[in-house]
Chains A and B, each alone.
Chain A
Amino acid sequence: MEEIIKKRIKQVLKGDQNAFGEIVELYKDKVFQVCFRMLGNRHEAEDMAQEAFVRAYVNIQSFHINMKFSTWLYRIATNLCIDRIRKKKPDFYLDAEVAGTEGLNMYSQVAADTVLPEDELESLELQETIQAEILKLPEKYRSPIVLKYIEELSLKEISEILDLPVGTVKTRIHRGREALRNQLRHL
């Protein structure tokens, strides 16, 4: 995987935009997923994920070829999401969809013309609830929790993405887990 990526990056550096398209294809789902879990809104998540790739392209010269590309890309994406969360004002939600319906729309798209059986509906509701609880986490706990449990990254990789010492990442994950324990224990 990393070998293919490195080859593509060299092509991008020579001005080949199609090679960058292939990189986007390989990472779009992961990047979109991080953004969605961080922001909870499909539209915003797509904006941020798009922006992350455009920035990666514009700044590709600053990517060190010895680094893991996904780490660098995750760093760009999480920083964008963190900035967005910090800038968010309450009135941002005025024209947004009702909280909690977002993911449901998305999941129902998949099976648009089939009626969902009851247990699937239940599991959709459960998914909505869990996502809502993730969004209640303060941003500094949310990022490492999403990277660890949604993207299944190692503590070391998370520390590189968030530019924090491993010890700090651990502490934040511990606090995030305690917060989630309180929020999810009654489910």
Chain B
Amino acid sequence: MQCPDEIIDLMHQYLDEDIKTEDEISLREHLRSCQDCQVHFHELKKAVALVQSTSSMAAPAGFTQRVTANLPKEKRKAGAER
């Protein structure tokens, strides 16, 4: 079965949390009657959840010291005149 592309667009609008109420209602109605779109929607939400499930990461130890060691020594003296 081939559903109109607009239904897929509505799924993305929903996932962006940027969907009009009436569009959300028609999306829900369509999903109730269309198994293919249910699967598609479920797979989209699953992909998002998996990407969101990746652990947050910390910069390696000593990161800040390495940055400050690499800063140019003589900063252009804009407004730092003596």
Contact B51 A134 (CB under 8 A): yes
Contact B57 A36 (CB under 8 A): yes
Whether a CB of chain A sits under 8 angstroms from the CB of B4 is no
B52-76 interface with A by 8 A CB criterion = 52-60, 63-64, 66-68, 70-72, 75-76
Task: Give the dominant DSSP class at A's interface.
Answer: helix
A32 to B67 CA separation, bound complex (whole angstroms)? 12
A17 to B70 CA separation, bound complex (whole angstroms)? 11
A85-120 CB mask vs B (1 if < 8 Å, else 0) is 000000000000000000000110000000000000
Chain A residues whose C-beta falls within 8 Å of the C-beta of B58 in the assembled complex: 29, 32
Q: Which of B12, B52, B59, B68 contacts A21 (CB 8 A)?
A: B68
Contact B59 A46 (CB under 8 A): yes
Contact B64 A21 (CB under 8 A): yes
Contact A42 B60 (CB under 8 A): yes
Interface size bucket, A side? 35 or more
Q: Which of A28, A57, A184 contacts B63 (CB 8 A)?
A: A28
A149 to B54 CA separation, bound complex (whole angstroms)? 10
Which B residue's beta carbon lies closest to that of A15? Answer: B80
Interface size bucket, B side? 35 or more
Chain B residues whose C-beta falls within 8 Å of the C-beta of A21 in the assembled complex: 64, 67-68
Q: Which of A32, A107, A126, A134 contacts B60 (CB 8 A)?
A: A32
Q: Which of B16, B56, B68 contacts A173 (CB 8 A)?
A: B16
Least distance between A74 CB and chain B CB atoms (Å): 15
Chain B residues whose C-beta falls within 8 Å of the C-beta of A106 in the assembled complex: 57
Contact B77 A15 (CB under 8 A): yes
Chain B residues whose C-beta falls within 8 Å of the C-beta of A161 in the assembled complex: none
Q: Which of A14, A130, A155 contacts B53 (CB 8 A)?
A: A130
A155 to B56 CA separation, bound complex (whole angstroms)? 20
Least distance between B46 CB and chain A CB atoms (Å): 7
Binding site for A on B (CB under 8 A): 8-9, 12, 15-16, 18, 40, 43-44, 46-48, 50-60, 63-64, 66-68, 70-72, 75-80
